[in-house]
Homo-oligomer: A and B are copies of this chain.
């Protein structure tokens, strides 16, 4: 089928390619002239045959909001917009209403797969009405992995991004689990082959997983990760997971600890621990490590 793709960066560009490889016609727009087929959203809409389908793959927040508002003025009743970016699930409701007021359908889709998706397929989680989802199902079928899994219609508007958010929260917890295990192995003087231990776990263990495979790849390149700094960004979805947990009064100790470990990894020094050191000094006369005045 024919689809307009807005945003042809690392994710959108690869997805457009996978769609074309599967016989779909993709007309792409990007703010960068190098990558795009059309120079503007009006031109994109003009090039698409009604009823149109447009996939928005731009950064979450203001860029997505602005794009959807512009599209709501350009598209017609019966057209459909898919937001495949990392939008917050509460934004989806507004977008669905804005578009719905003009008879335009809306589907939110969480997309997992990273740099491997173009080859292996992208796991897709969709939210919205069944009739809207059915309209773009050929696109979903082309993007998803070829097996029985990798696509779900998870629920109403927002459910696609909500489930993707939770997926990423689980991912945070799993990554930190491997990370803590690594540190505890590395701290032992009786374990001599840490990379070999992880490698051996690829088969027969309870913890075998794609993340373990990736960690083994990383350790194959750099056996003690000596070239990599212990510094981890967070992409926003971990934060949203914790905020959703607080909103729903769901205790999420593991996922939250994983998020906080990333926050801490980016601090040169903990303000909190200055307080602990100061208090120990006050009540116990414990020496404090002084900041180097020259530093």
Contacts and interface: CB of A to CB of B under 8 A. Distances in A.
Given A174-B173, A181-B167, A275-B178, A211 B209 contact: yes
Interface stretch (A42-50, A58-66, A281-289): A281-289
Given A167-B206, A173-B176, A209-B208, A276 B262 contact: yes
Given A159-B191, A230-B272, A246-B242, A281 B218 contact: yes
A263 B249 contact: yes
A206 B257 contact: no
Contact of A192 (B113, B156, B246): B156
Contacts of A210: 205-209, 283
Number of copies: 4
Contact of A112 (B148, B177, B204, B256): B204
A230 B271 contact: yes
Contact of A184 (B166, B186, B227): B166
A151 interface: yes
Nearest to A279: B175
A177 B182 contact: no
A277 B230 contact: yes
Contacts of A33: none
Given A150-B200, A214-B283, A230-B270, A180 B169 contact: yes
Contacts of A41: none
User: For chain A, what secondary structure do more than half of its interface residues adopt (helix, strand, loop), or is it mixed?
Assistant: helix
A230 B123 contact: no
A203 B147 contact: yes
A38 interface: no
Contacts of A135: none
Given A190-B155, A201-B167, A275 B145 contact: no
Interface of A: 10, 89, 112-117, 120-125, 127, 144-145, 147-159, 162-163, 166-188, 190-193, 196-197, 199-212, 214-215, 217-219, 222, 225-234, 239, 241-266, 269-286, 288-291
Given A182-B271, A184-B250, A261-B270, 13 more contacts: A149-B203, A151-B200, A183-B271, A214-B279, A217-B282, A226-B291, A227-B291, A228-B288, A233-B280, A243-B243, A246-B259, A254-B257, A261-B273
